[in-house]
Amino acid sequence: MMKRQTAQGTLAVAAGLGLIGGLAGCATGASDAASSTATPDAGSSTATTSATPSEAASSASGSIYTDGTYSAEGSYVSPGGPETVTVELTLADDVVTAVSLTSDATNPNTKQFQGKFESGLDGAAVGKNIDELNISKLAGSSLTSTGFNEALEAIKAEARA
């Protein structure tokens, strides 16, 4: 039910923006003012995409994000020092369909907590709308979530349609 309300709200906003863009085009005499297309800014983060369907298909489904698989790195500070995690996430219609977390931790405690976090990640993320995903503690790991959420924000910025 929440997805339907979000889609309706997105359509209402898109219709309003189309009307404003059309009015702006009339005011300036430009006939294509509302028909410009945006492309992801590949240089703004460490996130990368491996699939890029047309923006028109993404807009038609009411999606905010472009479907595909993205990867980004996030960092946090543990009692053992700075740590990083790499998150790979697959999106379809703004919903997470697959997610994984990798790290190069050498500290035994960090490895343990990141392993616990990763073991619960599918259940916490897959099937959820990416905008509703924000993990504060998972499977007893509260610090790894900081790195995960940082990587998630980079992925969202890269995937924004």
Question: How far apart are the C-alpha atoms of 69 and 90, rounded to whole Å?
Answer: 4
- pTM (two decimals): 0.63
Q: What's the CA gap between 62 and 14, in Å, rounded?
A: 9
The pLDDT, as a whole number, for residue 61 is 59
Provide DSSP, 35-46.
Answer: -------TTSSS
> Which residue, among 35, 13, 14, has the nearest Cα to 24 in the 3D structure?
35
Q: Which residues contact 124 (CB under 8 A, 6 or more apart)?
A: 135, 138
pLDDT in tens, the chain (161 residues): 333 344 444 434 344 434 334 433 433 333 333 333 333 333 333 433 344 343 434 444 578 999 999 999 999 999 999 999 999 999 999 999 999 999 989 999 999 999 999 999 999 999 999 999 999 999 999 999 999 999 999 999 999 96
Backbone angles phi, psi at 54, to 5 degrees: -65, 145
Question: Any idea what the Cα angle at residue 74 is, between residues 104 and 55, rounded to 5°?
Answer: 120
**Encoded tokens for 158:** 């890269």
Q: Which long-range contacts (CB under 8 A, 24 or more apart) does 33-40 make?
A: 38/161, 40/66, 40/158, 40/159, 40/160
Copy the structure tokens of residue 8: 């309706």
Q: Which two tokens stand for residue 110?
A: 């960090």
Q: Write phi, then psi, for 51 (nearest 5 degrees).
A: -145, 130
| Tokens found for residue 2 | 């929440």
